[in-house]
Amino acid sequence: MRWDNAQQESFWATLKVEFYDRYLWPTKAAAKVAVGDWIERVYNRRRRHSAIAMMSPVDFEDRLTQTAQAACPVAAKHRHAPLFL
């Protein structure tokens, strides 16, 4: 069991430095929407992460899916088939 929150602390530091501290929003609601958009558009899709070989999370998941489908052709044919056949 992990008791430290280093990964989460790293995320919040990145959010503050790369995004939050650079803008001003008229309302709290506008800030929440902007942060959600940044997480989905930049952090998850484009930003590279050292924990996954300097790939973006989306690229990492795509590669993982391709590897699993190559290893299990049945799963590739039936997209909803479990990968652990």
Q: Which domain holds residue 36?
A: 27-85
- Residue 36 has a pLDDT of 93
In a domain, 8, yes or no: no
In a domain, 70, yes or no: yes
In a domain, 83, yes or no: yes
In a domain, 73, yes or no: yes
In a domain, 59, yes or no: yes
In total, how many domains does the chain have? Answer: 1
In a domain, 12, yes or no: no
The answer to whether the Cα torsion of 44, 70, 68, 55 is positive or negative is negative
pLDDT by residue for the chain (85 residues), tens digit each? 566 788 888 889 989 998 888 989 899 999 999 999 999 888 878 888 788 888 888 888 889 888 888 888 765 565 555 555 4
- Residue 27 has a pLDDT of 95
In a domain, 13, yes or no: no
- Residue 85 has a pLDDT of 46
In a domain, 31, yes or no: yes
State if pTM tops 0.75: no
